[in-house]
Amino acid sequence: MENKYRVPFSAMGIVLAIGIVFGDIGTSPLYVMRAVIHTLPDGQLARPEYIMGAVSCVIWTLTILTTLKYVIFTLKADNKGEGGILSLYALIRKKFKWALFIAAIGAAMLLADGVITPAMTVTSAVEGLDVLVPNMQTLSIALIIVIGIFLLQPYGTGSLGKYFGPFMCLWFIMMAVVGLLQLAQDWSVLLAFNPYYAIRFIIEVPDALIIMGSIFLCTTGAEALYSDLGHCGLKNIRAAWIFVKIALILNYLGQAAWIINHPEKITHGTNPFFMMMPQWFIIIGVLMATSAAIIASQALISGSYSVISEAISMNLWPPVKIEYPTTIKGQMYIPSVNYMLMMLCLMVMVVLGSSTKMEAAYGLAITISMMMTSILLFLFFIKNNRPLWFSIPVTVFFIIFEFTFFIANMQKFGHGGFVPVFIGGLVFIIMYSWIKGTWLKKKFTTYDVVNKSYINQIDRISKDESIPKTATHLVYITNAKRKDNIENKISYSLFTKTPKRADTYWFINIRRTDEPYEFGYETTVYVPCKIFRLDIRAGFKLGIHTDKYVNLIANDMERKGMVDLSSRYPSLQGGEYNHGEFKYMVVGRVIRNINIKPIQQFTLFCYDIIKQIATSDKQMYDLDPSVAVVETVPLYRKEHTEEELKNLLMQADLKQQIHNEPQPEKL
């Protein structure tokens, strides 16, 4: 990959990665060992070999899934420095177009995780107050915090963001120190590094499969780690992971040591994360845990915005309004996504009530997303000609590991595991309807040839003063890839519906590219100073900003003497407002008089509903509403013939004859 896309390796980059990338995985110690205790059999909650086996499973899960799969292998699959499941799909889609649905499933489940994680982490952190004040109503506090997180999104993190990294460094140091203090009382727990204890745990413990679902929670942040590659850079993430993993393992080992040495304090609801802290430090620990949970939630919410933004750029999601509250690279705000996540998150918190119950809803969606990433990673290996003796064993190893966790998490399906799958399923249905609806509309698209006759017809309309003038500069947005083609719907708008007279005509084609920040354009001159076509290439991270791009290019063309942008009205020429007006024509299509399969009709119906709710054609191309006009034409225009008229007249005559025949008398 080209170095110009890579984030430089630096101490600040490492600190930034600790703050952005590892928030989710860094708050997992709040609930992993508690979830394990909760699922162990009665009377065996503090049994040393069970606790040793559980923490051994945690260590090796972090090693195999997070370190080996993501930090070592997957982070190499960067798309010009950008990561995430959709960026990975962008790398392979030319060769494996069918993988689109695999990427859509993975992205949908990742968004579902963005609903559960804030609820889970914040609630778990605030519940630490139960250690000081038993039976305290912590849910209301957690709800207020989560509402605050979402309501502050329109303002961005701004200058506060630079403190996330240093604070998370303190968080990991605190976890390491607290864990080390407990570990110092029982060094035998270090034997958990031996995978024998993990294997023995899986074989011997009753309901081990259910417990594995709880252990999986230690690595749920691994998929988000890959998504943040573009913000922090590969080397910074890898260096930060060394520090983060040491801190995590020390804390997990410390919790295990405390459980083994305090069996009398263990119940199904015990949270060893807070219980192993000194009494005087618990309130500080709760405050730090809550702050870390807020940072982790912020990172996941921002990650959800990035996923939707990339999905829009790849035409997997309807275009929606995107705002940029700060000048910080990559920081955006999507109102519709923000409030959708907030409502779903609050619903999960209110319905489930406690983090213990939320644990059942956590993990299943991420295992699905991880398996989808593994499949795409295999296709990436194939595309890059990696040998099969390497690609197949590596992929099969990871998928077997992840599928085991998938089966384990499926045990919780009826106890709340269905929640993220249901949310992810809804997201996927929206994606599928949008993808198929777009494809069906393209299927019924016909093209006219832009030849000399076509250009002359436009020129004649431009000179025909009997036609009311539409604009000085009339801009049509075309999806025709060939420069000598134009959609029939544009011809219908230009010539048939109401002829459009203008001084200058522009046909604009905007193509999203797989390079995140690419920008370029080509100009085709049909008639000098009068009729042009612009082919614009914009990277999927830049987005579609049509009028902005056209104005920038048109001004450059004027400087080169290719076009006159001044006003054509004598009263404005030479003055302060001597600028010719632009009008953008967006031609939409409606379903009418067309015979298609019922499933296709239903897909197009869903597509239109989603489009009406989510976006408009003006928003899709990011057009200023004051200069944009939307026209509609039939999706398919059937030519009516003389034969069709004769058939109608014959049918009418036949029905009239039947009607006039005398009816038999009733007996």
pLDDT tens profile 333-357: 888 888 888 998 898 888 877 777 7
pLDDT number for residue 2: 46
Predicted local distance difference test score (pLDDT) of residue 567: 81
In one-letter notation, the amino acid at residue 115 is V
Do both 338 and 459 map to the same domain? no
Provide the pLDDT for residue 251.
94
Whether residue 489 is found in the same domain as residue 345? no
Q: Over pLDDT 90: what percentage of the chain? A: 17
What is the per-residue pLDDT across 467-509, written as a single tens digit (0 to 9) for each? 998 888 999 998 888 888 888 888 888 888 788 899 999 999 9
Residue at 282: amino acid letter? I
Average pLDDT over residues 564-580: 75
CA atoms within 13 A on the CB side of 500: 22
Residue 645 covered by a domain: no
Mean pLDDT of the chain: 83
Locate 470 and state its tokens.
């539409």
Of 132-141, 546-555, 572-581, the one with minimum mean pLDDT is 572-581
Regarding whether 315 and 452 lie in a shared domain, the answer is: no
Residue 307 structure tokens: 């996923």
**pLDDT score recorded for residue 419:** 84
Q: Which of the two residues, 611 and 14, has the higher pLDDT score? A: 14
The answer on pLDDT for 221 being more than 90 is no
Phi/psi of residue 544, each to 5°? -105, 115
Please report whether residue 406 resides in a domain: no
Is the residue at 559 inside a domain? yes
Give a yes or no: residue 656 inside a domain: no
Whole-number pLDDT of residue 588 = 75
Report the alpha-carbon distance of residue 258 to residue 254 in Å, rounded. 6
Q: What is the pLDDT of residue 326?
A: 61
Confidence class of residue 396 from pLDDT cuts 50, 70 and 90?
very high
Residue 398 and residue 374 in contact, taking contact as beta carbons nearer than 8 Å:
yes
Question: What average pLDDT score do residues 150-168 get?
Answer: 75
* Average of per-residue pLDDT across 249-253: 95
Whether residues 333 and 454 share a domain: the answer is: no
- Residue 535: what pLDDT? 93
Residue for token pair 């962008």: 90
Over its C-alpha atoms, the chain yields an Rg (Å, rounded) of 31
Q: How many helices (H) and strands (E) does the chain have?
A: 26, 8
- pLDDT confidence of residue 244: 93
pTM: 0.78
**Whether residue 590 has pLDDT greater than 70:** no
Least confident of 96-110, 242-256, 459-473, 568-582: 568-582
Does residue 200 share a domain with residue 72? yes
Total count of domains within the chain: 2
Q: Which of 4-18, 44-58, 188-202, 514-528 has the lowest mean pLDDT?
A: 4-18
Do residues 131 and 241 both lie within one domain? yes
If one compares 118 and 269, the residue with the highest pLDDT of the two is 118
For residues 259 and 657, the model is more confident at 259
Q: Rounded to an integer, what distance in angstroms lies between the CA atom of residue 460 and that of residue 455?
A: 9
pLDDT at 327 over 80: no
pLDDT, mean of residues 239-258 = 93
Per-residue confidence (pLDDT) for residue 509, from 0 to 100: 92
| Residues 345 and 465 grouped into a single domain | no
Say if residue 346 is in the same domain as residue 466: no
Is residue 437 situated within a structural domain?
no
Question: For residues 20 and 105, which has the higher predicted lDDT (pLDDT)?
Answer: 105
pLDDT at position 241: 92
Angle separating helix axes 100-126 and 138-151, nearest 10 degrees:
130
Predicted confidence (pLDDT) per residue in 598-656, tens digit: 787 788 788 878 877 776 777 778 888 888 888 877 665 556 566 777 777 777 777 66
Last residue of a domain, one of 353, 383, 418: 353
Q: What pLDDT is attached to residue 158?
A: 54
Q: Residue 43: what pLDDT?
A: 66
pLDDT tens by residue, 223-239:
878 877 777 778 888 99
User: What are the residue ranges of helices labelled H in 193-328?
Assistant: 195-204, 208-215, 222-227, 229-232, 234-261, 272-275, 282-313
Residue with tokens 């929606």: 320
Q: Where are the beta strands (DSSP E) in 429-500?
A: 447-449, 469-477, 485-487
- 130 against 14, higher pLDDT: 14
Domain assignment of residue 439, yes or no: no
Q: Exposed (0-12), middle (13-18) or buried (19+): which is 94, by Cβ within 10 Å?
A: exposed
Residue 310 is part of a domain; what is its CATH number? 1.20.1740.10
Residue 9 lies in a domain: yes
Task: Give the model confidence (pLDDT) of 275-322 as tens digits.
Answer: 888 888 888 988 998 888 888 888 888 888 888 888 887 888 887 877
Phi, psi of 447 (to 5 degrees): -125, 150
Whether 5 shows a pLDDT value over 80: the answer reads: no
Residues 495 and 616 in one domain: yes
Tell me the mean pLDDT in the region 241-246.
93
Last residue within a domain, chosen from 353, 386, 408: 353
Instruction: Among 302, 325, 353, give the residue marking a domain's end.
Output: 353
Tokens of residue 53, six digits? 């086996």
Same domain, yes or no: 332 and 475: no
343 & 473 share domain: no
User: In angstroms, how far is the first alpha carbon of the chain from the final one?
Assistant: 92
Whether 392 maps to a domain, the answer reads no
Q: State which residues form the domain around 142.
A: 3-353
